[in-house]
Amino acid sequence: MELNQVNLARMIIELQDLMRLNDVDIEGEIVSKDHMLVKYGEDSMVHGYYEIARSINKAFIFINEDCEEWEQTVIHEMVHVVCDQFLAYIERKKQLDSFGDTVFEQMIERLSVGFLNAWIDNECLLDDD
């Protein structure tokens, strides 16, 4: 499926239903490779990231325009949104060290694969292309 603003917005809406995430206002944005380089530095191959305004339950998902498996990245970032309150709790206690960060990312990725399969099984967007 082509990465464009319409497909990104539709996928986010479908996933919000699937993931019971309707209480968060989520906006998707496609960003350039240069944007990612400025944000994450030369060496990074970042496909996407999210930002959240916790006080107003508004999240932004940013997807690298060069990302090939962008659907997977959208889901990954949405699982981050699901887990954000837990992360906020951890951050109040102490910053995650690199082991904790790795474990957290592995958990996010495993959940993402589950949601990706559920999304594909639901034949959401994939149907009408």
| Residues that bind Zn ion in the complex, under the rule CB under 5 A | 108
d(CA 100, CA 97): 5
- If the CB atoms of residues 86 and 126 are measured against Zn ion, the closer one turns out to be 86
Where does residue 110 fall: left (phi above 0), alpha (psi -120 to 50 degrees), or beta otherwise?
A: alpha
Catalogue the E-assigned strands of the chain.
Answer: 25-31, 48-53, 58-64
Q: Which is nearer to Zn ion, 66 or 109 (CB)?
A: 109
Tell me how far, at minimum, the Cβ of 49 lies from Zn ion, in Å. Answer: 8
The least CB distance from residue 88 to Zn ion, in Å, is 15
Cβ of residue 33: shortest distance to Zn ion, in angstroms? 18
Separation CA 124–CA 122 (nearest Å): 5
When the beta carbons of 39 and 126 are compared against Zn ion, the nearer one is 39
Q: Which residues pair with 51 in a beta bridge?
A: 60
